[in-house]
Structures are given as C-alpha cells and as structure tokens.
Amino acid sequence: MDLFNGILSLHGVPFLLISVVLIMALGYILGRVTIKGVSLGTAGVFIMALLYGCLFYDHLSAEINADFVGSALKIVDNLGLILFVTAVGFIAGPNFFGNFKKNFKSYVILAIIIILSGGLTCAGCIMVGRNFTDLSQQEFTAMLTGILSGALTSTPGFSAAKDAVGDDHLQSIVSVGYAIAYIFGVIGVVLFVQVVPKLMKANMAEERKHLVTADSKGKSKADTTKIINMDDFGIMPFALAAAVGVFIGAFKFRNFSLSTTGGCLLVALLFGHFGHIGKFSLMPKDTTLKVFREMGLVFFLIGAGVSGGAKFVKYFDGLYFVYGMLMTIIPMILGFLFAKYVLKLSLLNNLGSITGGMTSTPALGTLIGTAGTEDVASAYAATYPVALISVVLVSQFLIILFS
C-alpha cells in the first residue's frame, strides 16, 4: 500500500511512465492466460488498461490534473497508432498491390458488406430501441451512432458522427456511445479471429499456402550491394513515412479525411511497395518493423483503454452494451460467411479482410500471431481504406435519416 501511495504521489511524466509500463507488464501476463487454445494476447493489455481507467482515472485526474492526464493518454494513443499502422503498411507493401489486384472486387465488396450490415443493424436498433428510452430522438440517434463507431472501433466514423450532430451536447452523447461499445468492439474481433480457426479445425500450415500474395517472379530488384541505408535499423524511412502520413491524414474534404491511420497506412504501403528511390533504401529492417508494430499496438491499447475505462463506468448501460455487441457480431458473421461461400476467399484472406473491414487494429495483431505469418496484413490493408470511407458515410447518413 505504501508503494502504491508513493506512486500516486508522483506527478507528471514520471507517473505516466510508471503507469504505462505497469499496465503493459500486467497486461501481457493476462494475455498469456489460455482457455481451450484461445487467449486475449495483446488485448490483455487493453483489459488491464480498462481496469486501470475504471479504478483510478477520476482519482488521478483530481490528484494531478485532468487536462494533463487526458492529453498524456491521447499522446500515447496517437503515438501507438502511428507506429502500428506505419509498420503494418511497410509489412504489407511488397505484396499489397499484387494481392489487391487479384482480389480487388472481393475486398471492395466485402468491406461494403461489413459496414452496411453494421449500419443496418444500427438502424434497426434505433427503430426498435427508440420506443424504450427516455432520450429524445436526436439524443438516441447520437447515442446509437456513437455505439456503431465504437462497435467497429472506427475513430474516423466517430469523428464523422460528432461532426454531423454538431451540437456540443449531442457530441458528448456520441462520445459516450463510442466508449460503451468500443470495449467489446476490440475484444469481440480479437476472439473471433482465434475462435473461427479452432471451430473449423484449420491446419495453419496448409492455410498459409492458400494465402494470396503477390507473385514476385520477374519483378526487378535492386542490388543490395548498391542500396544505401540511412541507418542500421531503417528508422529514418520509417519516421519519414509516418511524418508524411500524418501530414496527408490531416487534410479534410467536406468533413472527410484519411485521418492519421489512413495517411500513415497509405504512405507506408507505397514506401514498402517501391522499396527504394534510386540508391536510397525506403525499407526498415524486418526486426524494426516487428518491434514498432508490437510497441505501437500496446501504446494504442493503453491510451484508448485507460480513457475508455473511465467513461465506461460513468455511462455504462446494459442495453446500450447489447446494441454494441450486435453491431460488432452481426457484421463479422455476415462478412465471414459472404467471403467464404460467395467470394470463395481462403481462411486467412477471409479473416485478414474481416479485421480490415471491422477497422480492428488489435485483431490484426492477434491474427498475425494466430496465422504465424505477417502476410495477412495485406488483406487487412486492402479492405481497410474502403471500410474507412464507408463507415464515415454510413455514420453521417444515419444522423441525417433519424435525427
């Protein structure tokens, strides 16, 4: 207890650093717990961050400074997202365009199916649930649209919904809905990509052979003996891609932007695809990408989990949580079945596409571990941009239709 009180007495950066590493350590321990072959994996960090936020966020805000705590968590969240998505873009880049070319229609259709089914589920919940709530029509629509963006773990969808409602009061309601649904939105997809292969008794060694990637035959490659690396780990091109991606993602056109996620993913895909400009390498080392991918995912989960945990306790409502579960589960199941029986995608291409269509960053990290290959990132990267645009449009349409 004295140790805990001593930690609480710290202020500013020292406290933040101790909090982050403590959540990280305990989260990895929780993530290792396996039940019938299924584990939370890195999402264990998210659960620990949620618990931390539930128990200590309000106290810490009062003891230290609410603005500092919120800003610090946002920095951790955004830094993690930048690291993870940029790493995924580099990893997927060499195979992305060949993979996308082979399955272009499938990826586009699947992403639209997933987001539309989520939107229709949300519309159904609005039409049925508005008869059983004390909220006004506008407030209830704002709440359910926020729940949709949380169920799909879509920050761009969340931002679009807030912009569409306009009013500060309604924007706060959108935020509450997002926080309530986000938790299951993360955990649900993480468990889905582990449970489905178990249920199908999939042989991952065989499934990896069916994973569609680009055919590199005939593709010219630069001599390694002549390429100039700016540093031993490739941190410079990684940082450059991230910086350019953030810059591109900041541009808005009629309330739509690629966001930090989309901008970093796009630039890293291009860097990864071309590999070099003249004699200068654009590719980080594989080990660098793996470390940044894992570190970025953990930082993102900590930042989002702690702040989300505080809102979850304050505004939790069982019925809203059920709405969120439906908006996560129904699109996943329909998307998976459509990809399997109509589009005829292999299991790993299917699941990789599901993580992209659900815009689920944590689930991709889990799937890479489950599949035993990073090539699934190509399917994620192919469906993600279409899903990103679709969820923004659907969120805005629901606000206009039901408000």
Q: What are phi and psi of 387, to 5 degrees?
A: -65, -40
User: What is the rounded average pLDDT of the residues 112-128?
Assistant: 95
Give the pLDDT band of residue 384 (cuts 50, 70, 90). Answer: confident
Share of the chain above pLDDT 90, in %: 25
Q: How many residues does the chain have?
A: 403
Q: Are 303 and 76 in contact (CB under 8 A)?
A: yes
Among the ranges 31-35, 103-107, 240-244, which has the highest mean pLDDT value? 240-244
> For residue 76, is it within any domain?
no
pLDDT surpassing 60 at residue 164 = yes
In this predicted structure, the answer to whether residue 98 has a pLDDT above a threshold of 80 is: no
Is 193 a residue whose pLDDT tops 80? yes
* Higher local confidence (pLDDT), 7 or 169: 169
Q: What is the mean pLDDT of residues 333-338?
A: 96
Q: What integer best gives the mean pLDDT of the chain?
A: 83
Q: Is residue 237 part of a domain?
A: yes
Determine the pLDDT at residue 13.
63
- Whether 4 has a pLDDT exceeding 60, the answer reads no
pLDDT at 279 over 60: yes
The pLDDT of residue 139 is above 50: yes
In a domain, 250, yes or no: yes
Residue 122 domain flag: yes
10: pLDDT strictly greater than 60: no
Would you say residue 157 has pLDDT above 80? no
Q: Residue 153: pLDDT above 80?
A: yes
Q: Is 13 within the bounds of a domain? A: no
Is residue 222's pLDDT more than 90?
no
1-15, 68-82, 211-225: which is most confident = 68-82
Give the domain range for residue 162: 95-213+223-294+311-402
How many domains does the chain fold into?
1
The answer to the question of residue 3 being in a domain is no
Residue 28 CA to residue 326 CA, distance in Å, equals 28
- Prediction pTM value: 0.72
Mean pLDDT to the nearest integer, 195-202? 91
Q: Is residue 5 included in any domain, yes or no? A: no
Q: Which of 160-174, 246-260, 291-305 has the highest mean pLDDT?
A: 291-305
CB 57 within 8 A of CB 310: yes
pLDDT at 214: 47
Residue 215's pLDDT is 46
Establish if 69 belongs to a structural domain: no
